[in-house]
Structure 1
Amino acid sequence: MAAKKPLCTVNAVVEAPCGVVAALLTTVSAGPVGPDNAFFLATGPDPAMQLRGGPNEFRAALAGSPNGIRVEVDRAQAMLAVEGQWWFRAECRVLPHPKGSRVTQQVFNVATSRRWMVPMIARGVEGKQRMSMQRLLERISEHLGCSAFLE
C-alpha cells in the first residue's frame, strides 16, 4: 500500500517474543477461521467464517457486505491487513519491543470514490479500534500465557 496518513493508530505491547506473536497473527490459510487459523478474526462478526484463496491473499463472505472482506498476509514482514466495506483497511504489524513485541494497528481510508464521506462514517473509529485491540490482546494473553496491554 502506498504511504498514506492513517485515520488512527493503536499500539500495544505483548510480553512474548516477536516471532511467536507474529506467527500467531500471520498463520492464515484457506478454510474455517478459528484459534489455529486467522486468530485475529476468530471472534469476529461471523463465527462460521471461511477463508478462500491464499497463500497471501484471501477473501471471506460477510453478512451485510456484498464484497465480504479481503485479508492480506505478509509473513516475512509480520504484517496482516483486513479490507472491507468500500473504505476500510486495517493493517497490523508485529515489531520487536524491549518487553517482547509491539503490535501496531493502523486504519486507512482506501475509498476510490466518495472519499469525502469517510470522515463522517469513520467517526469514533479510533475508540472502536482500541476496544477491538483490547479484545485481541486479551485473547493473545490467554492463548500465549503472557501479559499484553495497550500503550
Structure 2
Amino acid sequence: MKLITEVTGVVAAPVEQVWRALVNGNPGWTVAGDHTIAYQGGWWYRGEWSVEPDPEGTRVVHRVYDVARWMRWGVPLANRFFIGFADRTRAAFEEGLTRIERDIRA
C-alpha cells in the first residue's frame, strides 16, 4: 500500500459520537481497525477514515492509498498524474466533516 494523500480536521464532539456518525454515514464500508473504516474501489483505490481524541474534540483523518497489485504504473495515468487530486480530496473531506457535524447535531 502506498499513501497518496492525507487530510485531517477536527470535529468539536467526543470520539464516540463522531465514530457513530462516521460509520452510520458510510454504509457498506468495512470496519478496518480501532476507529477506522475503509472503502476499496476499483483496482487501485483504498480510502480510510479514522477518528482519534484531540484536545478540541475528535481528530478525523482521511487517507487515500494506492493498493494496485497489477498495472501499478497505470495508476498515475488513470488519474491524470493526480493533478488536482489533493484539492479534490480536501474538498470531499470537508464535505464529509460537515455531514458528520450535521448528523451529530440532528
The offset of 1:125, in angstroms, is 2.3
> How many angstroms does 1:25 deviate by?
1.4
Count of matched residue pairs: 102
Tell whether 2:41 aligns with 1:84: yes
Query: 1:95 pairs with 30, 49, 52, which one?
Result: 52
Among 12, 25, 31, which residue is 1:73 paired with?
A: 31
Q: Give how far 1:143 is off.
A: 1.9
Q: Taking structure 1 as the reference length, what is the TM-score of the superposition? A: 0.62
Corresponding residue of 1:129: 89
Q: Per-residue CA shift, 1:77-116, capped at 9, x if unaligned?
A: 0110011011000011101100000000000001111101
Distance change >3 Å, CA 5–CA 112, structure 1 → 2: closer
Work out the CA distance in 2 between the residues paired with 1:99 and 1:135: 19
Q: Which runs of 4+ in 1 moved over 3 A?
A: none
Q: Paired residue for 2:10, among 10, 13, 32?
A: 13
Paired letter, 1:15: A
Identity %, equivalent residues: 33
What SS is found at the alignment partner of 1:112?
Answer: coil
Cross-structure match for 1:104: 61
Check whether the contact 1:94–1:101 (CA below 8 A) recurs between aligned residues: yes
- Structure of greater relative contact order (alpha carbons < 8 Å, 6+ residues apart): 2
Structure 2: distance between partners of 1:84 and 1:107: 11
Matched, 1:120 2:77: yes
Question: What's the offset of the Cα at 1:119?
Answer: 1.9
Q: Helix, strand or coil: the match of 2:51?
A: strand
Within-5 A mapping of 1:35-54: 37=24, 39-40=25-26, 51=28
Do 2:2 and 2:67's aligned partners in 1 also have CA atoms closer than 8 Å? no
For 2:39 and 2:5, how far apart are their aligned partners in 1? 15
Q: Considering only aligned residues, what root-mean-square deviation do their CA atoms show, in Å? A: 1.7
Partners of 1:141 and 1:92 in 2: how far apart?
15
Structure 1: tracts of 5 or more residues without a match? 27-36, 42-50, 52-70, 146-151
Cα distance in 2 for partners of 1:132, 1:73 equals 20
